[in-house]
Amino acid sequence: MTVIELDLDAVLDTLDQMSSQRPVAAQIVATSNNENCGASQLAAILGADITLAAKVMKLANSAYFGLSGRVRSLQFAVAVVGFNTVRSVATVALSGTDEAQTVPDGFWKTSVHLAAACGALGPQFDERTADAMCLGLLAQLGAALLHQADPEGYVELMSRTDFGMRRFEEEARRYGICSTQLTAEALHQWSFPTEMVDALREVRSGDQGALLRTAYELTARSLYTRHRRTPLERLSQGKVTDAQASAKLAAIKDDVETLRSAMGL
Tell me if 235 sits within 8 A of 218, measured CB to CB: no
- pLDDT tens-place string over residues 179-193: 999 999 999 988 898
Q: What is the pLDDT of residue 100?
A: 61
- pLDDT tens-place string over residues 10-21: 888 877 777 677
Q: What is the mean pLDDT of residues 203-228?
A: 95
- pLDDT tens-place string over residues 72-91: 999 999 999 999 999 999 99
| Mean of per-residue pLDDT scores for the chain | 91
In CATH terms, the fold of domain 100-265 is: Hypothetical protein af1432 (1.10.3210)
Q: Over 90: is that where the pLDDT of 157 sits?
A: yes
CA distance 224 to 188: 31
Q: What is the mean pLDDT of residues 89-105?
A: 81
Q: What is the mean pLDDT of residues 240-254?
A: 95
Q: Over 70: is that where the pLDDT of 1 sits?
A: no
CA-nearest of 118, 52, 61, 85 to 258 is: 61
Q: Domains of the chain: which residue ranges? A: 23-95, 100-265
Please tell me what DSSP assigns to residue 150: S
Q: Where are the alpha helices (DSSP H) in the chain?
A: 8-18, 23-31, 39-46, 50-60, 74-81, 83-95, 107-121, 129-138, 141-149, 151-159, 165-175, 179-189, 194-201, 210-223, 232-236, 245-263
Tell me if 70 sits within 8 A of 53, measured CB to CB: no
- pLDDT tens-place string over residues 16-54: 777 677 888 889 988 887 777 888 999 999 999 998 999
Binned at pLDDT 50, 70 and 90, residue 155 comes out as very high
